[in-house]
Structure formats: structure tokens, C-alpha cells
Amino acid sequence: MFTGDDPQILNLIVTIAGVIVPVASVGWAIFAHYNPPDASPTKDNEPTKGAIIDALGKMAREEREPLFAAIDALYRIRREKPEKAEVIDGALALLKTGDTSRAEEILRADLDEKKRIGRKALKEAAAAARHLAAFIYLHDTHKALASHQEAVRLDPEEPDGWLQLGRVALRAGDSEALRAFRELDRRAREQGRIRWRAIAHSQLGDMDELRGASASALNHYQQAQSLLEQWAALALDDPQRQRDLSVSFDRIGDIYLANGDGAKALAAFQEGLVIARKLTELDPANTDWQRDLSVS
């Protein structure tokens, strides 16, 4: 028990304790923030995140926090892929010396893998949107158009997405058809996909023909025919490529015929007929090729 001046001493002790305890708490909070526990159990000789950060040099708090998250990512990969534990441990050890190269390699590979997975998921979602649109189109053209628009947003690199969007937009009377076919041509050109470029020009030719712009339509059909000749030359034994080329001659012939140029129309039709005959000789049972021959 305290006596005499003891109450004053007691008050002094309480006051000092009231100051020391909060200060100690704040100090511990600061220490804990900059030295958080590792995201996964580590061996005694594995570097802590705090040690790694110290090795990377002095930096502001806002610069340290992303690094803590990046180190956590390395530990996450280590947990998810135990077979990479040794490589990641080596990267962590290098980080303690200030060398980030191995960690960068690991995280870049992780990024590339996730991008591949992400692209695959987006491509599958876009395909689902196109499949959905195929059914919706039977009863609501405008809703089908919206579904195709979603498909190209999800996977703008897929040429069939732009083709289907353009066709449905054309059917719906939407001006987006022109943009879709031009986008198809642009992307096919960038990707070096000859046949898709030919398809784009054929569709643009169809649009021009519908609005009575026969000269522009002929130009597009001729570009398509030139591209299909290149395409067919890459695989002379491919019957589908030959059929595509045959159809392109027929389209050119139709334009010449509509313009009253019978001689050029006949020449184009004969070119297509020669190919159609060769195809039916290859496979007399193919009804599509027989029909092409009868039309020619």
C-alpha cells in the first residue's frame, strides 16, 4: 500500500504509463506496417519482405506498398505451383541483394499465362454471343445485331465476328454494316489473312451493288478475285479455294452483264465455268459443285 507522498508517486506512474503505452502501440503499428508477416511459411534462411524492401533502396511509402504486393504475388505463385518453389526462392534471394531480374521473369511469365487464359475466355464468350445471335436473328434482327456487337467487343480479332455483324447490320438496315466490313478488311490485312480480305471486299461489293453503285461494286469484286487467286495459288489442290475463285468470276460476270457489257461478262463466266467443271470432275457427287456448274 502507498502512504504519505505515495498517492503523488502513483499518479506520476499512471501518467507516465498513459504516455508510454500509446507511443509504444503507435511504434509497433508502424513497424508492423513496414514489416508485415510473409504471405506463406518460409524457411529460416528465406528473406523477409522487409529485408527485400530494404535491399531495394530507400523509397517513399507509396513506392513500397506496390513492392509488398509484388512480393506477395511471388509467394502466391509459389503456393499455387510448388514445382516452381526452388526458382522462386532463388528469385527472393536475389531480391535481397537488390537484383530484380529473376522476379521480373517469373512475374512476366505469370502475366503472359493469365493473358492467354483471359484471351481464351473472351474468345469463348464472343463465340457464345454469336451462337446466341444466330437464334435471336430468327425473330428479332435488332437484338441479334446487339449480340453481334457484344461479340466483336469481346473478341475484336476474330474476323467472323465482323462478318456476321456486317451481314446482320445490313439486314437490319443499320449503317454499321459498312464499318463492320471495312473493319474486317483492315484486321484481315493486318493479320495477313488473304481469304478474309477477299470476303470483306465481296461484302462491300454486295453493298455497293444494292445501292446501284456498279462501278464501285465491280472494283471490290475484282479486288476479291485477285486476292482469291493469290489464295488459291498457295494450295492448288484445295477444291474449296478453287470454288471460291469460281464464284468470284461469276460475281464479276453479273456486274458486267448488268452494265450491258456482254463480252466481258461472257469472259468472266467462262473463267468460272472452267473451274466449276474441274471441280465436278473431281467429285461428281458433290451437289454444291454440281449446282455451281448448272448456274454457270
C-alpha cell at 142: 435488332
- Phi then psi for residue 144, to 5 deg, are -65, -40
> Per this entry, what is the length of the chain?
296
Q: Which is it for the CA torsion 245, 246, 249, 255, positive or negative? A: negative
Closest CA relative to residue 206, chosen from 219, 191, 189:
219
Distance (Å, rounded) from C-alpha 77 to C-alpha 83? 10
With contact defined as beta carbons under 8 Å apart, do 162 and 189 qualify?
Answer: no
- What's the number of CA atoms in the CB half-sphere (13 Å) around residue 175? 0
Closest CA relative to residue 74, chosen from 108, 33, 37, 32:
108
C-alpha cell at 252: 464479276
Closest CA relative to residue 156, chosen from 192, 119, 202, 131:
119
Distance (Å, rounded) from C-alpha 267 to C-alpha 50? 80
Q: How far is CA 247 from CA 242, 255, 282, in A?
A: 9, 13, 17
Q: Break the chain down into helix, strand, coil percent, rounded to 5.
A: 80, 0, 20
Number of neighbours of residue 98 by Cβ within 10 angstroms: 11
Distance (Å, rounded) from C-alpha 249 to C-alpha 246? 5
Whole-number pLDDT of residue 56:
80
Whole-number pLDDT of residue 1:
47
Q: What angle do CA 239, 240, 241 make, to 5 degrees?
A: 90
CB-count exposure of residue 277 (10 Å: 0-12, 13-18, 19+): middle
C-alpha cell at 200: 470483306
Query: What is the CA 155 to chain-centroid distance, rounded?
Result: 5
Whole-number pLDDT of residue 40:
41
Whole-number pLDDT of residue 244:
92
Distance (Å, rounded) from C-alpha 180 to C-alpha 170? 10
- In the chain, the N- to C-terminal Cα span, in Å, equals 119
Q: How far is CA 105 from CA 40, 74, 214, in A?
A: 21, 11, 57
At how many degrees (to 10) do helices 176-191 and 159-172 cross? 160
With contact defined as beta carbons under 8 Å apart, do 219 and 231 qualify?
Answer: no
pLDDT tens series, the chain, 296 aa: 445 455 555 454 445 555 444 544 545 454 454 454 444 444 433 457 778 878 888 777 777 788 888 888 899 999 999 999 999 999 988 888 888 889 889 889 988 888 889 999 999 999 999 999 999 998 899 999 999 999 999 999 999 999 999 999 999 988 899 999 999 999 999 999 999 999 999 999 999 999 999 999 999 999 999 999 999 999 988 999 999 999 999 999 999 999 999 999 999 999 988 888 888 777 666 666 555 555 55
Whole-number pLDDT of residue 71:
86
With contact defined as beta carbons under 8 Å apart, do 250 and 268 qualify?
Answer: yes
What are the strands, taking DSSP E only, across the chain?
A: none
Whole-number pLDDT of residue 4:
47
